[in-house]
């Protein structure tokens, strides 16, 4: 892994500097149209990103990016239910009774 500096977009995701250009109004935008987030003093926000040396891409988009497309969310949440214990499960241990001194 190696580290690169990427721009932070308004949605919180990151973009490689080669994918960002100024539009007609002078605003830095990603090639898909999302604007680069700015600091209070007007400079673009950036972040160090770990990049895979073989592919040149981040290993994943960040927290919640399970399909690798750079966005969080993914599939709809599922109702998770605990497994019911097996009815015929044998007891695996016995507790010992302690004798009072």
Q: Is 80 a domain residue? A: no
Q: Cα–Cα distances in Å, from 83 out to 19, 87, 92?
A: 47, 12, 19
Q: Is 11 a domain residue? A: yes
What pLDDT does residue 72 have?
A: 61
Q: Structural domain of residue 11, as residue ranges?
A: 2-51
Q: Is 88 a domain residue? A: no
Asked whether 19 and 35 are in contact (CB, 8 A), the reply is: no
Q: Which two tokens stand for residue 73?
A: 């969310």
Q: What's the whole-model pTM score? A: 0.53
75-99 pLDDT, tens digit each: 556 677 777 776 666 667 777 777 7
What pLDDT does residue 54 have?
A: 83
What pLDDT does residue 46 have?
A: 92
What pLDDT does residue 96 have?
A: 76
Q: Is 46 a domain residue? A: yes
Where the chain has pLDDT below 50, the residues are none
What is the spatial distance between Cα 3 and Cα 70, in angstroms, rounded to a whole number? 17
What pLDDT does residue 89 have?
A: 62
Q: How many domains does the chain have?
A: 1
């Amino acid at each position: 892994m190696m580290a690169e500096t990427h721009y932070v977009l308004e949605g919180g995701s990151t973009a490689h500097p080669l994918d960002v250009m100024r539009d007609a109004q002078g605003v830095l935008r990603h090639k898909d149209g999302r604007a680069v987030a700015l600091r209070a003093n007007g400079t673009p926000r950036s972040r160090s990103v770990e990049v895979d040396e073989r592919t040149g891409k981040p290993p994943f988009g960040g927290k919640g990016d399970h399909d690798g497309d750079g966005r969080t969310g993914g599939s709809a949440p599922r109702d998770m239910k605990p497994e019911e214990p097996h009815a015929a499960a044998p007891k695996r241990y016995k507790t010992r009774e302690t004798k009072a001194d």
